[in-house]
Amino acid sequence: MARTRLKAARLGPRDVLHVGSAGLRSRPMRVILSALGIAIGIATMISVVGISASSKAQLMERLDKLGTSMLVATPGEGMFSGEDVKLPKGSLGMLGRIEGIEEAAATGDVKEAVRRSEKISDDETGGIAVKASTEELLKVLRGKAARGTWLNKANGRYPSVVLGHVSAQRLGITSPGQQVYIGDRYFTVVGILAPLPLSPEIERSALVGWEAAQKLLGFDGHPTSLYERSTEASVAAVRKLIAPTVDPRNPQNVRVTDPSSALQAKAASEGAFSSLLLGLGGIALLVGGVGVANTMIISVLERRYEIGLRRSLGATRGQIRIQFVTESLMLSGLGGLAGVAMGSVATWIYATSGGLPWVVPAWAVVGGFGATLVIGTVAGLYPAVRAARLSPTLALHAA
């Protein structure tokens, strides 16, 4: 009569989860401490990526709002050392002839200082420049007056001044209607500008109407800076035409810059320093994986009787391996979930306190949690193999 060979019963997914979680349920404090190392590593990585992404998102929002289609033309360096280079008086009109330019404005340096009163020395300028400005400047800069109004055809002919928000702070001016001393007379402050990230030189200026600057402050009418807005598609072409159009005889005397390039470079470099912090997070994650491996090895040593009993009742080596690998995966997975939650909360706190948009990239969450599963698998392999190799007889005898 043929002898029937017995086959071990298969473990279904539910059975695997049940036996794999048995060790976790019996030692909750050890589970918490072991998962904490994984959680700290993942939280560090998620928060570093999230904070970097939130900062970059804010920069991109500012770029979208301010636009990247503005160029600024200023006097360049002359052919001879010490040469006083000036833009032609009619350069603003010539700039407007370039195809693709939608708006243009100009400012010109005025050789006068602005002070709170005539009692203050001329040398104490507070780093504030006085500039003549055309009426279109605020529109080209996409700025706005935080308080009061901007220069127009009416107030631009009289002793009126608009202060950049930095210059208003340095002068102690808090509201329109107050006066400042420029040249040999008082000018009435008609407006204070909101911050202009693309034009820090305007933030630190006192702006006077073009006509008033010529009539009251001896302004010579030569623009110092030309600002233009063109369509996004024509920026490169316009940039090539500005210098030869503004000063056909000496195009080398005209320098063209892109104010948004600084923000673009900052956005591009955002996260460069984060690589170091990501490395530290990776080290913490690796240390957490070592902790999981140690926990699993100790678990195998403590549960030799359980392993021997299961083997004697028919459990195969493969089933023992699956049990301990599953336990390791669940332990790492708990730490990974906690780390993702901790990192997301840390990013939210940072973003909220700094007025940034809250951004946690999906790839960081998926990648971070996936890394915990990989570490859990690797950390559980050796203890699982060791448990599977235990002899049922010796395990029961040792117990």
Residue 213: pLDDT band with limits 50, 70, 90: very high
pTM as predicted: 0.59
Q: Which are the contacts of 231, defined by CB distance < 8 A and separation ≥ 6?
A: 69, 100, 102
Q: Is the dihedral of CA 67, 69, 74, 78 positive or negative?
A: positive
Rg of the Cα atoms in the chain: 35
Question: Are residues 276 and 80 in contact, defined by beta-carbon separation less than 8 angstroms?
Answer: no
> In the predicted model, what is the mean pLDDT of residues 175-201?
91
Q: Which of 373, 329, 364 is nearest to 343 (CA)?
A: 364
SS3 249: coil
Which residue would you say has higher pLDDT here, 370 or 289?
370
What is the predicted pLDDT for the residue at 64? 60
SS3 198: coil
Integer Cα distance of 130 and 124 in angstroms:
13
What is the predicted pLDDT for the residue at 202? 93
Q: Cα-flanking dihedrals φ and ψ of residue 229, to 5°?
A: -120, 130
Q: Tell me the pLDDT of the chain averaged across its residues.
A: 81
Give the single-character DSSP code of 1. -
Integer Cα distance of 177 and 392 in angstroms:
94
> In the predicted model, what is the mean pLDDT of residues 82-99?
83
Question: Are residues 37 and 287 in contact, defined by beta-carbon separation less than 8 angstroms?
Answer: yes
Amino acid at 399: A
Residue 349: pLDDT band with limits 50, 70, 90: very high
Integer Cα distance of 360 and 280 in angstroms:
19
Residue 380: pLDDT band with limits 50, 70, 90: confident
User: Over 90: is that where the pLDDT of 318 sits?
Assistant: no
User: Over 60: is that where the pLDDT of 19 sits?
Assistant: yes
User: Over 80: is that where the pLDDT of 159 sits?
Assistant: yes
Least trusted range by pLDDT, from 12-21, 144-153, 346-355, 362-371? 12-21
Integer Cα distance of 359 and 56 in angstroms:
9
Least trusted range by pLDDT, from 100-109, 121-130, 259-268? 259-268
